Structures are given as C-alpha cells and as structure tokens.
Amino acid sequence: MTEAPWTVLPFGQRGGAKRAAVSPPSSEARAVPALTLEQFASFVVEREVYPAKREEVRARYGIASSDAESALEQGFRERFAREPETERVFEDVRERYRAWLTTQG
C-alpha cells in the first residue's frame, strides 16, 4: 500500500522514516492561492474598481470562494503586521496599479 506523502516524514529516527499522524491539507488551505505581493495588490484594486465583477475578479486570480478570499486577506494582514516595510511596498504598488487601471478606460 502506498502512503500519502503527508503521512511519512523524510527524517526521523535512525533506521527509517518515522510515521507521523498528520492530516492532509484542508480543502480551504488548498483553495487559497499563493499570490505575490503585486498580484494581491492588483486583485485588491480590481475588486475595488469593479465591485459588480467581484466573482469574475476572484476567478481570474484563482480565488475559489469568499472564504478563500478572507483567508488570503488574513494571511497578508499577518504578513504586514510582521513586516511593516512590506505593507508600505504593497500600498505603493496598489496606488500605482490603481492609477494605471483608471487610465485604461
């Protein structure tokens, strides 16, 4: 029987891999895309500029649901709390993208 990759760790006690009681990633965790800072900024701007197209914007960025969107936002809030300079970069990218997008008619 083949083991699921998350049930066997590649390290452990001598003499072989140690089995771990680890669950597979939740479906919610898999549903949250790993966006770059720039992608997250453009997602936020498009969501604000086109509120009636929220579902379409989500789909374009691979965000499956409002729960996934909330989890993505929470992840970035936590990152910004740990890395204030990253939040400043985000705000700069966000404003530049907003300025560009609003000129695209």
Mean pLDDT of 44-62: 96
In a domain, 93, yes or no: yes
Higher pLDDT, 92 or 28: 92
In a domain, 21, yes or no: no
pTM of the model: 0.70
Residue 84 has pLDDT above 70, yes or no: yes
Range(s) of the domain holding residue 48: 27-102
In a domain, 22, yes or no: no
Q: Please report which confidence band the pLDDT of residue 22 belongs to, taking 50, 70 and 90 as the band edges.
A: very low
In a domain, 6, yes or no: no
Mean pLDDT of 6-23: 46
State what percent of residues in the chain have pLDDT above 90. 66
Distances 65 to 29, 72, 93 between C-alpha atoms, Å: 12, 11, 25
Tokens of 37: 């800072």
In a domain, 18, yes or no: no
- Per-residue confidence (pLDDT) for residue 31, from 0 to 100: 72
Domain count, the chain: 1
